[in-house]
Amino acid sequence: MRATIVGGGIGGLTVANHLIRNGWQVRILERAATLPASGTALGMWPPALHALDAIGVGDRIREIGVPQAEGAILRPDGSTIARLHVPGETLLVSRPALLDALVADVSGAVEFSTSVDAVPGDCDVVVGADGIGSPIRDRVFGSRYRPRPLGMAAWRGWVPGEATSTTETWDAGALFGITPRDGGLTNFFAAVRLPPGADDGGVAFLRSRFGHWHPAVRDVLDRIDGEALLHHDLLHSPALPSYTRGKVALIGDAAHAMAPNLGRGACEAMVDAITLGRALTESEDVAAALRRYDRARRHRTRLMVRGSETAARIATASRARGARDALLGLATRTTFHRAT
């Protein structure tokens, strides 16, 4: 059996690993010239680690990832809204380190600098793992299903020095997060409610917007290197009628781009990949396997898209913040259960 995977990112490499381990012939078509050498920390929740274990990569990530057991939600003055306990084994790992682990056993299947103008035809299945701007999704379902602006812009990056805690600070219309990451660095992320395409002003804007917040935020702002700062508008996907059509299956952001507030984007892409890989390798009927994948993943990931959008709006709410803080503090006083 032959698969063409469009996109050599997290989801594409994960499904490639699974299919190759089960005897499939696989081509991975990646438009970039190389895998990215930069990128911020990603949450490896228990389902992501289970997916990595299924392709023999889990222990590599455990060696380099930073364990996450607890954190806190703060106000701009540094006072605590809630303390969070993260159940189960959860890690933070940078995108480059994760991609390096995923590509190690399938590097010979990756064809870099390869653009895809049409759905490939010389294979049994096509996996659209080509990200939020997926040309494969556009080809199969049309432009009306492209992701739409969430009304927020995000900045991400890292600074030297190891973070000693995980925090997310909430204010009206904005938030700022700080976490550890592999390599002894500090990962940060910020979001502000802004119209799409707004001129952000880079580091100067961040220092103006967040420079009066508590010392931990100011310390990160003082150390930001503008050249390493990533900025983009946040988008989320409308509900697709299916994640499959014909011999094409969509995974990850191509199927269900979501706001980052639940920290589940990379995790869900890997779970998609393993679910699809298992369906394809456990049945000789590709059409039936694709239907099985769609049934298993579409409803759950749509809940994640809606939940992530809701979390973004709650975190940056302008009204009833006192009631929000009191309810969240009460709900998380003992433990905080993230979806697993």
Does 102 score more than 90 pLDDT?
yes
* Chain center to CA of 66: 17
pLDDT of residue 333: 60
Q: What share of the chain has pLDDT > 70, as a percent?
A: 97
Q: Is 330 exposed, middle or buried (0-12, 13-18, 19+ CB in 10 A)?
A: exposed
In DSSP notation, 32-72 reads SSS--S---EEEE-HHHHHHHHHTT-HHHHHHHSEE--EEE
> What are phi and psi for residue 138, nearest 5 degrees?
-60, -40
Mean pLDDT of 301-325: 91
In this prediction, residue 119 carries a pLDDT of: 87
Q: How confident is the model at residue 334 (pLDDT cuts 50, 70, 90)?
A: very low
Domains of the chain (ranges; CATH) run 2-331 (3.50.50.60)
User: Are the C-beta atoms of 209 and 174 separated by less than 8 Å?
Assistant: yes
Q: pLDDT per residue over 205-244, tens digit each?
A: 999 999 999 999 999 999 998 777 899 999 999 999 999 9
Who's near 204: CB < 8 A, 6+ residues apart? none
Tokens coding 262: 């639940």
Q: In what order do the strands lie in the sheet with 174-181?
A: 80-85, 70-74, 167-171, 174-181, 185-193, 148-159, 230-236
How confident is the model at residue 339, as a pLDDT?
40
Does residue 80 have a pLDDT over 60? yes
Strand order in the sheet with 25-29: 110-111, 25-29, 2-6, 125-128, 248-250, 244-245
From edge to edge, which strands make up the β-sheet containing 91-94?
41-44, 91-94, 66-67
Whether 319 shows a pLDDT value over 90: the answer reads no
pTM: 0.93
pLDDT at 325 over 70: yes
pLDDT at 14: 98
The strand pairing partners of 5, in sequence order, are 28, 127
pLDDT higher at 72 or 164: 72
Per-residue model confidence as pLDDT tens digits over 108-121? 999 999 988 888 88
